[in-house]
Amino acid sequence: SQTIHQWPATLVQPVGSPLSLECTVEGTSNPNLYWYRQAAGRGLQLLFYSVGIGQISSEVPQNLSASRPQDRQFILSSKKLLLSDSGFYLCAWGTGYGYTFGSGTRLTVV
């Protein structure tokens, strides 16, 4: 079966600390993968998308970066977190019916 895993579910990090969020997909090959951020009470903003290993497109300038070291693995990173990086981060896998989403990571930067 096709599934998408995202972890951790919640994270509290101090300003200036690094970040690594991981997303993996099972049951498919060469998926299109996406990272979205959802600020409180707002819609989803596309941060990065990837159509293959090592291929990353950035949608908005920001303090974050993404990498795709393996076909089914997508990583969101930061070297130094800012307060404004707080939010709900969703990984998504593009399918014929839009997206299948991971369960999300709620990041609070303190």
Partner 1 sequence: EDKVVQSPLSLVVHEGDTVTLNCSYEVTNFRSLLWYKQEKKAPTFLFMLTSSGIEKKSGRLSSILDKKELFSILNITATQTGDSAIYLCAVNQGAQKLVFGQGTRLTINP
In the complex with partner 1, the residue whose CB is nearer, 69 or 98, is 98
Q: Is 46 in the site for partner 1 (CB under 8 A)?
A: yes
Q: Is 25 in the site for partner 1 (CB under 8 A)?
A: no
- Here's the x/- map for partner 1, 85-104, by CB under 8 A: it reads as -----x---x--xxxxxxxx
Q: What are the counts of helices (DSSP H) followed by strands (DSSP E) for the chain? A: 0, 11
User: Applying CB under 8 A, which of residues 49, 68, 75, 89 lies at the interface with partner 1?
Assistant: 49
With CA atoms as reference, report the closest residue to 18 among 56, 65, 71: 65
Tell me whether strands 10-13 and 105-109 are parallel, antiparallel or unpaired: parallel
Dihedral sign for Cα 110, 92, 103, 45, please. positive
In the complex with partner 1, the residue whose CB is nearer, 75 or 90, is 90
